[in-house]
Structure 1
Amino acid sequence: MEKHHIAKVSQKEKQFLYNYLFAKETWAHYEIRLYMSIINLFSPMQSFYLTQQMLKNGSETIDVNWNHQADFLYIILSTALIMAFQGKIPELAQLIKQAGNSIHNEQYPYEKTELHFIKGLLNYLKGDRIVAKQSIKESIDVFQVLNSPKLVDLYNRRWQEFLNRQKIDNKKFR
């Protein structure tokens, strides 16, 4: 909603949505789709906690419908990107593992490539710049091979934004 400037969402409304989703004992189609559409409303750590709640309380849903598997994976990867940009290494590593466990077959080539990109971000955060740059380059190369110039542009921008954020964060601690 806020992302598309359709409506302004107050702090009270954000808190209501967070509390609603966090308290759901079973995440079904509605909760998953709602969360997908508002994930960016929340603070990074709120997104992480809600994603963990979804994984815990949506396990019955994921086994029923392959569309829900794709939705789960989208949410995990989106949250992983948020954690990478925040430099949250333990949370990012956990999400990478959960995403890897969610990819059961060859059905998700885009998601596998995005996961490879995110692993590159984790390697960068851990200080392994050579492996990180190799993973990022491989991911972008896959999109080039698939003749997806918009994805190439998107992931080049994400990489630059990530690097720029790291420079800003490094300056804060000097």
Structure 2
Amino acid sequence: MLRFKVLASVIPLAVAAVFAHTEILPGPRPCIEVGGAAMQIASIPWLAQLHVSFTDDPALATVRVQIADRADTADFAVIDDTDDVESGACESNAVPQLIAILRSPSTSDPVIYLSHDGPFDYRVFVQSSTFSARDAAALIVSAHGGHRRLDAASL
């Protein structure tokens, strides 16, 4: 089971503008650190290097993400309202890789079906004031290159 260290990020606006090529962030954006690299949900989709979308139709999905009821059953758990969250841990010298959540699916980008039931490729647990289940799903799918875990295991 893969576990990612979840890190709440607050990047100063001046630094964020340089990193995002003049993007002005209205506030902290969901961000995680994976293997020493930061991945962050973009506020402006066309600046993002990675894109995902969501569907309500499981037949159209390329990746299925289940919302878990407990953190210990999830592949990716976000709990940022505890006392032990490392503030600023997602800040690094490297430019964060930006992930955009698009409204319309693309044929080349992952399409995520997010649900409480059914088969899944990943499970997320979210108890957060800054992350949504959609943010967590977009981050875990992007961290895995947009591939289903079962498809990746067969390569």
Greater relative contact order (Cα < 8 A, sep 6+): 2
Q: Name the structure where helix makes up a greater proportion of residues.
A: 1
Larger radius of gyration: 1
Q: TM-score, length-normalised on structure 2?
A: 0.27
Q: Name the structure where strand makes up a greater proportion of residues.
A: 2
Q: TM-score, length-normalised on structure 1?
A: 0.25
